Amino acid sequence: MGSRWGFLIRFLGAVWLLGLGHCEQQTPETAAQRCFCQVSGYLDDCTCDVETIDKFNNYRLFPRLQRLLESDYFRYYKVNLKRPCPFWNDISQCGRRDCAVKPCQFDEVPDGIKSASYKYSEEANNLSEECEQAEQLGAVDESLSEETQKAVLQWTKHDDSSDNFCEADDIQSPDAEYVDLLLNPERYTGYKGPDAWKIWNVIYEENCFKPQTIKRPLNPLASSQGKSKENTFYSWLEGLCVEKRAFYRLISGLHASINVHLSARYLLQDTWLEKKWGHNITEFQQRFDGILTEGEGPRRLKNLYFLYLIELKALSKVIPFFERPDFQLFTGNKVQDAENKMLLLEVLHEIKSFPLHFDENSFFAGDKKEANKLKEEFRLHFRNISRIMDCVGCFKCRLWGKLQTQGLGTALKILFSEKLIANMPESGPSFEFHLTRQEIVSLFNAFGRISTSVKELENFRNLLQNIH
């Protein structure tokens, strides 16, 4: 008990120090210092420092991870971008051409991917097709083998269980289409203003355990709200338990990561001859400069690193699921599938070797009843956030928002399923813990986006060094 209270006291002290805003310097700050002055050394609630993460990600993990994500299994993602917003009707669809998403033609997707939604092997493919046929009949077909009937019931039960943190798309819907993520990269589309701010404000206001009496400024880039109001807004975090503060930091880290992507792949030139995408230093400063954001920018970047550690930990925990001999990244090309599984395991064991993994036990402690209650709160809040993604007016933003929230939701599911993962059979179907192809693709691509953000921060640091 004493160590628990000591941890909380140290955490609250760190939060108070973090709320002080930009670094207090006796000499004028450079542009790089104003964005990164707090983004160094040890992270709050962690035994890891920023410099260790940067070195590990940028030079050891990032290159391998990007090569994995370029493979057919991970580049094709099935998504329904036509689902109606469940919360409000006044959605203004983005009419800019950069907001559009180009779906795949049917013959562009490998046969092994489009044949079924669960694909770990050829045998599993055949089994899942029988499962889908049985579900369409509304009952288990008695002509199926006893083992197949059991799989149908177990997988259906799994999909309806309380282990899922996201409300996933119905990928059997006629509106669901495959998208080549490499041909529809996440970048600045021009989608901004009240419609875009409304999405994030609803997320923060209604889903991050924030008291309704504390209001967040509508425009997250505005600096005219006043420092006292800004500090008042964040003071409510001190009154939350450490787990709920962690939830807020995950959402803030996801928001920051997306903003890094938009600043790094900004439309710098648009002429009839060519489009030029690149780093927009001004856009980055507007979102992360310590003075322009009144101390908020560096806090966002630290939360990005916090999110990185959480998803890194989830990937290290789920290794036994992917190590099973009957698991394949099934696309129908046996040679490439075998090579990609080897690369996947290389990436996962590289992640496992990270020396300063986040200790999630300090967050999800307490008796069983309290832990279950906390899990349910997390699940309901995060499911709500995943539904809000259907309200995004820009289709490309909606695509990447849905993918990254599903990826983070899958990471949370893994962290809450440690015992189920440990009890998995070494071979054969895993009924207690199961990941669909959608979850696998979103998990690795979402982490790939965060890994890219960390890499881009190094690029922005170097660019800002030349600005005084």
- The residues carrying an active-site annotation are 394, 397
Cβ proximity of 32 and 461 under 8 Å: yes
Residue listed under structure tokens 């355990």: 209
User: Exposed/middle/buried for 332, CB within 10 Å: 0-12, 13-18, 19+?
Assistant: middle
Closest-CA residue to 45 (of 255, 305, 316, 372) = 305
The answer on whether 96 is annotated among ligand-binding residues is: no
Rounded CA separation 110/107 (Å)? 7
The answer on whether 189 is annotated among ligand-binding residues is: yes
The answer on whether 187 is annotated among ligand-binding residues is: yes
Cβ proximity of 206 and 403 under 8 Å: no
User: Exposed/middle/buried for 180, CB within 10 Å: 0-12, 13-18, 19+?
Assistant: middle
The answer on whether 261 is annotated among ligand-binding residues is: no
Strand-pair partners of 270: 275
Closest-CA residue to 166 (of 405, 416, 371, 374) = 405
Long-range Cβ pairs for the range 372-376 (8 Å, 24+): 374/243, 375/416, 376/162
The answer on whether 255 is annotated among ligand-binding residues is: yes
The answer on whether 451 is annotated among ligand-binding residues is: no
Q: What letter would DSSP give residue 177? A: E
Instruction: Give me the amino acid identity at 297.
Output: G
Closest-CA residue to 308 (of 446, 164, 212, 101) = 446
C-alpha angle with apex 101: 402 to 160, nearest 5 degrees?
30
What are 370's two structure tokens? 């309290």
Annotated binding site: 187, 189, 200, 252, 255, 287
Annotated binding site for FAD: 187, 189, 200, 252, 255, 287
